[in-house]
Amino acid sequence: MKRSRARRFLRECLSLGLIVCGTVAPALAEGTPKGVENNARLPSCQSKTQFFAGYRWVNLDDSERAGEYQDLHSSLTAGIDAFSCPLPYRFHLNGEFLNKNDVYADTGYAYSDLLLFRDIFIRVHHNLEHSDYQHSGEPPEINYEDRNVGARYSTNISNNFLSLRLKAPDFPFHIFLKHRYVAKEGSIQQRFLLGGFENIHKISETRQIDWRSNAITLGVNSHLGPLEIEYTHDFSRFDPGNNNVLYDFYPAAATRPADIYPHNVIPETESRANSLKLHTSYTGRIVASVTLDNGHRKNNYSGAVADTWQGAVDVSWVPAPSLMFFFKYRHRDLALDNPDFVTLKGLAHTMTYPVRRSISSRKDIFSWSASFRPISRLTIIPAYHFEHLARQDSAAWRILPEYTNIHSIKLTAYTRPLNKLKFKAIYDYKYYDHPAYNIEPDSSNQVRFSTTYLPIPQVTALLDYSLTLNVRNHIRYLNVEPDTVVDGGKRTSRNDRFLGSLSFMLSPKASLTASWAYYRGEIEQDLAYGKWDAPGWDGDLPYIDPGVPYTNESNSYTLSLNFRPRDDTTCTADISHTISAGKLLPGTAITETPDSLTSFSALKISETELSIKITKQLRPGWEVGLKLLSHIYNDEIDDRQDGTVYITTFSLKRSF
Amino acid sequence: MYIFFKGRFLNTFSLFIIPLLCSLSGCNALKGSKPILPIKKYEKMIVGRFDADYVGTTNCLAACHAHDRLKKYFDASTMGAQLKKESGLPLVDCESCHGPGSLAIKGLTRKLVAENAKKGIKTTCDYKTLIDLKALPAPAQSLICLKCHTANATFNLHNWNASIHAVNGVSCFDCHTVHKSPDLKVRPIDTARLCFRCHQTTQVEFSLPSHHPVNEGRVFCTDCHNPHGGSSAMLLRKKTIKATCVQCHPEKRGPFVFEHADVAADCMNCHTPHGSVNNNLLVARQPFLCLQCHVGHRINSPAGGKASAAIGSAFYSKCTDCHSNIHGSDTPSFSGKGRLTQ
C-alpha cells in the first residue's frame, strides 16, 4: 500500500517535471548559443575563495542541556566561502562543517538569467530532556515505570531546500520547482498512560524515530503586460518511518476487554494544493493582487480528510505621496471530514467507537489601513481589522460559540523630531465578540513606545517598552460529571516588555554595547478543579479557585565588545546572563488544592554564555582564529538539567 | 468557483495555454509595464535632473576608479551582466537607478583623474546632481527597484505593496545592498543579524531558555517569514500558522480522527515561536497551561477530604505525560473517547 502510494507520488513528480521541462526547453535551447557567443564581451568578476579548517574541543560537565543544539563531541571542523563568476555562469558555495551532525551549506548556480539554482542544506543536532517521574506512587492505584532509566535522548534533523528556476529567453516567463526535504532521526522519550483512573500506569520509554517529509512545489509565472500571473501546484508527503505505531497491553476497561492495543500512532499524511496568484503592475497608483488557493490534506492511517479553500485580495492606493491606503480581504473555508466511527484493532479483539465530528470553520478577515505623512518627520498609520470566524459542528463540543468576531483598532506613529532622535508609538485595541477559549480576552489594550537617540556621535541609546492588558470577564469550563458548563469566572493578564540598550564608540577601533531586557507575563485566573460528590462516587460541580496568579519573568543582560587593537587583529567578546523565573500560587481557601500544583509550576533558571573570538592575519591570504564559547545552565528547581559546556575552536583560514 | 478551481482546468491552462498565448500574440506587446494609474509625483522623484543627459555606464566609470570596490560584486550579478548590451539581457546601467549622469561627470576626463591621482588627490564626480537615493521616501526608493521588477515576472513581490513592511515605510534598500553580492540576496545565515537591526525585542526572545536555534544559525527567520509580504498574518511564509510550523514538524500536520477541538489549528494558542522561559516554547507551564481551559482532575477523595499527595502528583504535574497525543490522535482512549491519551 505504502509502495503504491510512493510510486504514484514519484510518477506525479516525474510527469509534472516532464511537462515543465518540455514547455521551457525549446525556449532555453534557443537562448543558449546567444549567451555563449557573448561570453568574451561580458563583464567578469574575480573568483574568491576562503577556506578554513580547524579543530573543535568540547568539554561537557553534567547535563547536555547546556548545549541544546550542539553535538557535544570534539571534532575536526572546516568551512568554505567561495564564489566564481565566469559570466554568464555564476557559482557560489558557502558552508560550515562543525561535525557530522552540525552542517550548513548554501550552494548556488546560475546561467545568465535563464537558470537559477539554489540549495540550502542544514543539519542540526538537538539534545532532548529525559523527564524523570519524581513522584512516588501508591500501588496498585498509581504506578510509574521508566523502561529506559538513564537513557539519553537526541535527534538529528536534516533540512534541505532546493529551488530551480528556468526563464524563457527575452521574455518574462518562468517555470520553477521548489523542494523541501526534512528528516528527523534519533531517539525521543515517549510517555503514555496505560489504564484509567482506577489503575493509573504511567510509562516512559525510548522511541526510535525515522521521519521523512517531502514537499514539492511546481509552478509557472509570467508577466502579461498589465498582469502578472503565477500558478503553483504543491504536494507533500510525510512518512513516519517504521516505528509509527506502538503496542502495549492495556487492562480491561468498561468499554473494552484487556488486550494488546496500538497507541501513540504517528500517521502518514499527504497534502496537495493549487494556488493561483494575479497582480497588477507594482508601479501604479492602484496596485491589486489576488490569490486563490485550494488544498487537500489526508491522513492515510485513519482516513481523516481536510479540505481548504482560501482567497486573498490586497489593494493599495496612493492618491498622493503623503497618503496611502491599503485594503486587505482574506477568506478561508476549512472542511474537516473525520470518520463517524473508529475501529481499534487489538491482538484478539476489535472494537468500534463513535467519533465526535471535528470543527469545520469559515473565516473572513477585512483590514483597512492608511499611511499619512502630514510633515516629512511624522508618519501616522491608522488601521482597522475585522475578523469573523464561524464554526460548524461546534454544538457537539459544548463550550465553543458558533462564531467569534474580533474588532481591532491600531494607531501607529513614527516621528523624527530631531535628526538624532527617532520615536515610535503604537496603540492597539482589540474587542472580542463571543471569545471561544478562556485564553481569548473580551478586550485587549496594548501600548508600545520605542525610541532611538544619538546624544553624541559616539553614543546610541535604544529604549523600547510595551504593555499589554487583557481582560476576560466570563470564562467557561466544561465539567464532565455532571455534564455542564460552569460559567462566570474571570481572567486578567498583563505583559510588560522593556528593552534598553546603550552603544558606545570608545575609539575608532573599539565599540561597546550593553543592554538589559526585562519581560514579564502575569495572569490571574479563576481555576476549576474536579470534585467527587462526597461521600458518593459521582462527580460534583468543580471547586473554583479564585484569582490564581501565574507569572513568567526573565531578565537578560548582555555586554558586547568589538575591538581591533591592530589592523591585522580583531577581537569580539560577548557575555550574556539570563535569569528566568516563574511561579503559580493556587489559593489556600480550598484545602484540597494539591501541593504539587505549586511545586511543579515553579521555575528558576539562570544561563550564562560567554563568547570570545580572536582573529589575526598572519600574512596576506592567511588568518588564524580562536573562538571560545562557554555556556552555563543552572536550573535551581531541577538540578538534573544543570550543565556547563566549553567549546574551543582553533582554525586556520586561507583566502585565494 | 470551488468546483471549477478544484478541477484540473487550471493545471492544463497554466502549463500549456499561457505559454501558447504568449508565443502567438508576440512577446513585445506583453513585456511593457502598464500601471493602472501612474503615480506621477513619485515618478518625478526617481527620474533625476531634467537638464541632465544619459551618458551610459562606460562614461560613468571610465574616468573614475572609486567605484571599483562596488563594481566587484555588482559585475557578478545578473544586473551586472545587464550592464553590457552583448549579454542579451534587458539593459540596466548605473543611470537606471542613479539618474542621468552628464552633469555629474561634466569636466572629468581620464587625464584629469590620472593627474590628480599622481598628486594624491581623489577626483570625485558631482554626485549631488544624481538622484539622492538615501533621501528618498521609502515608497520612492522601492519604486526605483519596482520599475524594472514590475516589467519582469518576479516571485516574492506578489503581496509587497500592502505588506506590513511597505505600510511601515521599509524599502528594498533596507535589506538589499545592490552592489554587494552576486545575487543581491541576503544569505540565509545572515538573515537574523539583518532582521534584528529593527526587531531587537525579538532577538531577546531567542536568548530565553527554550528557543528555536536561530542564534545558532540552524533556523532562519526566512524559514517562517517572507519579508516581502504574503497573504497570511505576521508575514508568514505559508497560508496559516500551522502550515508554517508543520514544514519542519510534519508529524503534527493531521488531520486526525480526534482533534484538540480547533485549538491545534493555531499553534500559538500554546506555543510562542521565538523563545520562552518554559520548555517546548510553551506560553505557560503545565499544568497551568491546560487548566486555563480545562477543569482539573478530581482533587478530593470519594469519601470526602483531601486526595493524597500521590494523586495530586499524578494529576497535576505534566498533563502530557498521559495526554501524550495532545496535537491530535487516531486511536480512542481507555474510555473509548478522544481524550488524546492513546
Closest CA to A260 of A268, A271, A251: A251
pLDDT greater than 70 at residue A43: no
Contacts with A126 from chain B: Cβ below 8 Å: 213
Q: Which of residues 569-608 of A touch B (CB under 8 A)?
A: 576, 578, 580-582, 584, 591-597, 600-601, 603, 605, 607
- Residue from A143, A223, A556 whose CB has the most chain B CBs within 10 Å, to mutate: A223
The structure's pTM equals 0.90
Contact between residue A618 and residue A645 where contact means Cβ atoms under 8 Å apart:
no
For position A79, what pLDDT does the model report?
Answer: 96
pLDDT range class, residue B5, cuts 50, 70, 90: very low
Q: Which of residues 240-299 of A touch B (CB under 8 A)?
A: 240, 250, 253-256, 261-267, 269, 271, 274, 276-277, 279-289, 291-295, 297-299
3-state secondary structure A395-455: HHHCCCCCEEEEEEEEEEEEEEEECCEEEEEEEEEEEEECCCCCCCCCEEEEEEEEEEECC
The grid cell for A379 is 508618519
Instruction: Find the mean pLDDT for residues B51-71.
Output: 75
Contact between residue A601 and residue A583 where contact means Cβ atoms under 8 Å apart:
yes
CB contact under 8 Å between B263 and A35, yes or no, is: no
pLDDT greater than 60 at residue B87: no
Amino acid at A115: L
CB contact under 8 Å between A534 and B302, yes or no, is: yes
Q: Specify the 3-state DSSP secondary structure of A225.
A: coil
For position A13, what pLDDT does the model report?
Answer: 44
3-state secondary structure chain B: CHHHHHCCHHHHHHHHHHHHHHHHHCCHHHHCCCCCCECHHHHHHCCCCCCCCCCHHHHHHHCCCCCHHHHHHHCCCHHHHCCCHHHCCCCCCHHHHHCCCCCCCCCCCHHHHHHHHHCCCCCCCCHHHCCCHHHCCHHHHHHHHHHHHCCCCCCCCCCCCCCHHHHCCCCHHHCCCCCCCCCCCCCHHHHHHHHCCCCHHHHHHCCCCEECCCCCCCCCHHHHECCCCCCCHHHECCCCHHHHHCCCCHHHCCCCCECCCCHHHCHHHCECCCEECCHHHECCCCCHHHHCCCCECCCECCCCCECCHHHHHHHCCCHHHCCCCCCCECCCCCCCCCCCCC
The grid cell for A563 is 575591538
pLDDT greater than 90 at residue B283: yes
For position B85, what pLDDT does the model report?
Answer: 62
Q: Would you list the DSSP string of A123-166?
A: EEEEEE----------TTTEEEEETTTT--EEEEEEEEEEEEEE
For position B311, what pLDDT does the model report?
Answer: 84
A592/A599 Cα distance (integer angstroms): 15
Q: Nearest CA to CA, how far is A280 from chain B (Å)?
A: 7
Instruction: Find the mean pLDDT for residues A610-632.
Output: 95
Environment class of residue A655 by beta-carbon count within 10 Å: exposed (0-12), middle (13-18) or buried (19+)?
middle
Q: Between the CA of residue B115 and those of A312, B61, B107, B121, B291, what are the distances in Å?
A: 61, 17, 14, 9, 81
Residue B36 is nearest to which of A85, A284, A539, comparing CB atoms?
Answer: A284
For position A225, what pLDDT does the model report?
Answer: 77
Contact between residue A497 and residue A522 where contact means Cβ atoms under 8 Å apart:
no
DSSP state, A228?
A: E
pLDDT range class, residue B28, cuts 50, 70, 90: low
CB contact under 8 Å between B161 and A287, yes or no, is: yes
For position B155, what pLDDT does the model report?
Answer: 77
Q: Which of residues 96-135 of A touch B (CB under 8 A)?
A: 102, 104, 106, 108, 110, 112-113, 120, 122, 124, 126, 129, 131, 133, 135
Instruction: Find the mean pLDDT for residues B201-221.
Output: 95
Contacts with B84 from chain A: Cβ below 8 Å: 38, 41-43
For position B30, what pLDDT does the model report?
Answer: 56
pLDDT greater than 90 at residue A656: no
Tell me if chain B has a CB within 8 Å of the CB of A323.
no
Q: Between the CA of residue A412 and those of A379, A446, B180, B303, what are the distances in Å?
A: 8, 12, 33, 59
Q: Between the CA of residue A389 and those of A361, A396, A405, B121, B197, what are the distances in Å?
A: 7, 17, 6, 69, 36
pLDDT greater than 70 at residue A603: yes
Location of C-alpha cell 499544568:
B287
A264/A310 Cα distance (integer angstroms): 32
Closest CA to B129 of B103, B94, B109: B103
Contacts with B279 from chain A: Cβ below 8 Å: 129
Among A20-24, A469-473, A533-537, A580-584, where is mean pLDDT lowest? A20-24
CB contact under 8 Å between A46 and B14, yes or no, is: no
Closest CA to A67 of A105, A102, A103, A95: A102
pLDDT greater than 70 at residue A16: no
Contacts with A531 from chain B: Cβ below 8 Å: 298-300
* pLDDT, tens digit (0-9, with 9 covering 90-100), for A342-362: 999 999 999 999 999 999 999
Give the rounded distance of the alpha carbon of B218 from its chain centre: 17
Contacts of A464 (CB under 8 A, 6+ apart): A448, A449, A450, A451, A497, A498, A499, A500, B200, B201
DSSP state, A256?
A: B
Contact between residue A280 and residue B150 where contact means Cβ atoms under 8 Å apart:
no
Q: Would you list the DSSP string of A191-204?
A: EEEES-TTSEEEEE
Tell me the pairing of strands A459-479 and A443-453: antiparallel
Residue B33 is nearest to which of A283, A539, A548, comparing CB atoms?
Answer: A283
Q: Between the CA of residue A646 and those of A75, A238, A608, B130, what are the distances in Å?
A: 14, 37, 12, 53
CB contact under 8 Å between B310 and A289, yes or no, is: no
Location of C-alpha cell 511561579:
A583
* pLDDT, tens digit (0-9, with 9 covering 90-100), for A241-287: 989 999 999 999 888 999 999 999 999 999 999 999 999 988 889 99
Among A514-523, A599-608, B70-79, B111-120, where is mean pLDDT lowest? B70-79
CB contact under 8 Å between A285 and B38, yes or no, is: yes
B81/A34 Cα distance (integer angstroms): 14
For position A532, what pLDDT does the model report?
Answer: 87
* pLDDT, tens digit (0-9, with 9 covering 90-100), for A301-311: 999 999 999 99
For position B308, what pLDDT does the model report?
Answer: 83
The grid cell for A382 is 491608522
Contact between residue A586 and residue A598 where contact means Cβ atoms under 8 Å apart:
yes
Q: Specify the 3-state DSSP secondary structure of A254.
A: coil
Neighbours of A397 (CB within 10 A): 17
- Residue from A358, A386, A501, A562 whose CB has the most chain B CBs within 10 Å, to mutate: A358
Neighbours of A184 (CB within 10 A): 21
pLDDT greater than 60 at residue A2: no
ipTM: 0.91
Q: Between the CA of residue A239 and those of A212, A537, B188, what are the distances in Å?
A: 5, 46, 27
pLDDT range class, residue A36, cuts 50, 70, 90: very low
Among A1-10, A406-415, B247-256, where is mean pLDDT lowest? A1-10
B285/B263 Cα distance (integer angstroms): 17
Neighbours of A50 (CB within 10 A): 16
Contact between residue A491 and residue A438 where contact means Cβ atoms under 8 Å apart:
yes
Contact between residue A188 and residue A264 where contact means Cβ atoms under 8 Å apart:
no
Report the range out of A33-47, A579-593, B41-55, B317-331 with the highest average pLDDT. B317-331
The grid cell for B242 is 500551522
For position A267, what pLDDT does the model report?
Answer: 96
Tell me if chain B has a CB within 8 Å of the CB of A452.
no
Instruction: Find the mean pLDDT for residues B269-290.
Output: 96
DSSP state, A170?
A: T
* pLDDT, tens digit (0-9, with 9 covering 90-100), for A227-246: 889 999 999 999 999 899 99
When comparing pLDDT for A142 and B65, which is higher? A142
Q: Between the CA of residue A506 and those of A138, A406, A612, B272, what are the distances in Å?
A: 65, 50, 19, 38
Instruction: Find the mean pLDDT for residues B200-207.
Output: 94
Whether the CA torsion A529, A532, A538, A544 is positive or negative: it is negative
Contact between residue A556 and residue A577 where contact means Cβ atoms under 8 Å apart:
yes
pLDDT range class, residue A571, cuts 50, 70, 90: very high
For position B89, what pLDDT does the model report?
Answer: 60
My answer on whether omega of the bond before A620 falls inside 30° of 0, hence cis, is: no
The grid cell for B247 is 514544514
In this structure, what is the dihedral angle of CA atoms A153, A158, A159, A164, given to the nearest 10 degrees? -170
pLDDT range class, residue A436, cuts 50, 70, 90: very high
* Cross-strand partners of A431: A407, A443
Cα-trace Rg, chain B: 29
Phi, psi of A51 (to 5 degrees): -130, 135
Amino acid at A478: L
* pLDDT, tens digit (0-9, with 9 covering 90-100), for A130-181: 988 877 777 667 889 999 999 999 999 999 999 999 988 878 889 999 999 9
For position B307, what pLDDT does the model report?
Answer: 82
Contacts with B336 from chain A: Cβ below 8 Å: 253, 255-256, 351, 353
- Residue from B288, B290, B306, B323 whose CB has the most chain A CBs within 10 Å, to mutate: B288
User: CB pairs below 8 Å between A and B: how many?
Assistant: 548
CB contact under 8 Å between B257 and A355, yes or no, is: yes
Closest CA to A291 of B5, B266, B37: B5
Q: What is the mean pLDDT of chain A?
A: 90
B209/B192 Cα distance (integer angstroms): 18
pLDDT range class, residue B33, cuts 50, 70, 90: low
pLDDT greater than 90 at residue A401: yes
The grid cell for B213 is 536555534
- Using the CB atoms, write b or e for A8-28: b if 16+ within 10 Å: ebeeebeebeebbeebbeebb
* pLDDT, tens digit (0-9, with 9 covering 90-100), for B170-189: 999 999 887 776 566 778 88
